[in-house]
Amino acid sequence: MVAILYLISALLFIFALRGLSHPESSRMGNIFGIIGMIIAVFTTLMFKSVLSYYEIGAAILIGGAIGSFIALRIEMTALPQLVAAFHSLVGLAAVFVAAAAFYDPVAFSIGKVGSIKTASLVEMSIGTFIGAITFSGSVLAFGKLQGTISGKPIVFKFQHLINALIFLLIIFLIIIFVINQSPTIFWTIVIISILLGFLVVIPIGGADMPVVVSMLNSYSGWAACGIGFTLSNNLLIITGALVGASGAILSYIMSKGMNRSIINVVLGGFGGEQDTSASKDNSDKIVKQGNAEDAAYIMKNADSVIIVPGYGMAVAQAQHALREMGDILKKEGIEVRYAIHPVAGRMPGHMNVLLAEANVPYEEVLELDEINHDFPMTEVSFVIGANDVTNPAAKTDESSPIFGMPILDVEKSQSVLFVKRSMATGYSGVDNELFYRDNTTMLFGDAKKMCEDIVKSLSA
């Protein structure tokens, strides 16, 4: 009976992910997920060994209240931090469950204290190891995304060698733990894994965060899997594998969006201060600067406009003002669409959520390969808070660090408007030659303020 209920729960989780293939079916998918979780929890509460309903109920209420409070209050721009924080909790929960199983193996039928089955010990320590890494890595990622910790990659000598040695040390400790089942060794594994989690995320820069967040997503799944093996629980194994696969695929998509291998991202150090020489070369070139009225004039006289949002739009919270601008243009009979680069923002799909929040219909929001061939037929590209993802150097300059990265071909449209705070280079530290072209107009200022000013000029 239990096994069947768990199976139903696992199937519902699969349907939950399946629902996300289309926005229309996605809400139902989320409900499937919730039902699956309720079944899983109640099935477990029906176990004969589970007796302390009050304590468990209280714990669920406390956690549920905290989680609901956070989820309802969070700004959509802060979504990446939130997800990172949630990942850290999954990791920590995995460590606690493993510890609980270690201290009371009888409750999980994996043996007795001091004589736990070897297989269970191995699985338990792997679950603990991954859980602890997920925990500390996510905490650090949270700090970097939130801005509490500098987003700059921190690189030091022998970094990878040290990480490799720590990893070997953990394997060694796991072997000892399996042999002597000492609590001291168990907690040493926890602490050293936490340390390793920090060290793994420290060299990774802010713009690589979409990959890191996806990777930690994946880890949290594998941690659940490890615990699933420890408890011989198929539901945990299935769910963990689903989550693990999901995170791994997202990491792959993200690194492909930057034309870099996952390994390259993980090794880190990208986006430091290298390549200052490239920006010097262009210091004497002339930039055409414009203001909101110029932008309004250019767009009003166009037939089609493609808006390219980037992380800068999220920082400035400009999505609502931007949508307002788009609405006015549409009323004028101008075709307005949005082009999203896979790595725009700080987590996969971040821009889509922000535009959806501002009530932009999802049909108008297109992915890179859906819209890229339309740029030559487009009169105006309105780039707001994005830079590297439009840089033609990715196609032409083999020496550029972003060479080979797929870009949005805004250069092919008749004119380009760039909303930027300053002439500063993008995250990669590479200068963008587009800024100096004749058909480019730079609009310097805060993205939100600029959109509002354009709206004023348009309606005047």
Partner 1 sequence: MEAHSSEVFVIGLTVFFLACIIGYYVVWSVTPALHSPLMGVTNAISSVIIVGAILAAGPQGFDTSKIFGLIGVVLASVNIFGGFLVTYRMLSMFKKKTKKTKDKE
Q: Tell me which residues are annotated as active site.
A: 388
Distance of alpha carbon 214 from alpha carbon 138, whole angstroms = 11
Distance of alpha carbon 224 from alpha carbon 321, whole angstroms = 42
Q: How far out from the chain centre does Cα 354 lie?
A: 14
Residues written for the chain: 460
Q: Which is nearer to partner 1, 198 or 252 (CB)?
A: 252
Task: Report in angstroms how near the CB of residue 236 gets to partner 1 at its nearest.
Answer: 6
Cα 174 to Cα 110, 116, 330: the distances in Å are 18, 14, 62
Task: Report in angstroms how near the CB of residue 90 gets to partner 1 at its nearest.
Answer: 5
Task: Report in angstroms how near the CB of residue 41 gets to partner 1 at its nearest.
Answer: 6
Distance of alpha carbon 253 from alpha carbon 360, whole angstroms = 24
Task: Report in angstroms how near the CB of residue 151 gets to partner 1 at its nearest.
Answer: 20
Q: Which is nearer to partner 1, 32 or 382 (CB)?
A: 32
Distance of alpha carbon 436 from alpha carbon 288, whole angstroms = 7
Task: Report in angstroms how near the CB of residue 307 gets to partner 1 at its nearest.
Answer: 15
Distance of alpha carbon 175 from alpha carbon 185, whole angstroms = 10
Pairing assessment for the beta strands 335-340 and 380-384 based on DSSP bridges: unpaired
Task: Report in angstroms how near the CB of residue 323 gets to partner 1 at its nearest.
Answer: 11
Q: Which is nearer to partner 1, 357 or 379 (CB)?
A: 357
Cβ neighbours for 168, distance < 8 A, ≥ 6 positions apart:
none
Q: Token pair for residue 142?
A: 């949270």
Distance of alpha carbon 275 from alpha carbon 403, whole angstroms = 13
Q: Which is nearer to partner 1, 17 or 423 (CB)?
A: 17
E strand or H helix that includes residue 337: strand 335-340
Backbone angles phi, psi at 231, to 5 degrees: -90, 5
Q: Which is nearer to partner 1, 168 or 249 (CB)?
A: 249
Contact between residue 120 and residue 105 where contact means Cβ atoms under 8 Å apart: yes
Backbone angles phi, psi at 232, to 5 degrees: 50, 45
Distance of alpha carbon 362 from alpha carbon 356, whole angstroms = 7
Q: How far out from the chain centre does Cα 128 lie?
A: 23
Q: At what angle do helices 209-230 and 234-257 cross, to 10 degrees?
A: 160
Q: Which is nearer to partner 1, 65 or 165 (CB)?
A: 65
What's the alpha-carbon Rg for the chain, to the nearest Å? 25
Nearest Cα residue to 369 out of 213, 256, 264, 260 = 256
Q: Which is nearer to partner 1, 64 or 376 (CB)?
A: 64
Task: Report in angstroms how near the CB of residue 280 gets to partner 1 at its nearest.
Answer: 37
Distance of alpha carbon 457 from alpha carbon 295, whole angstroms = 9
Q: Which is nearer to partner 1, 250 or 434 (CB)?
A: 250
Backbone angles phi, psi at 381, to 5 degrees: -105, 125
Nearest Cα residue to 265 out of 196, 215, 194 = 215
Task: Report in angstroms how near the CB of residue 199 gets to partner 1 at its nearest.
Answer: 23
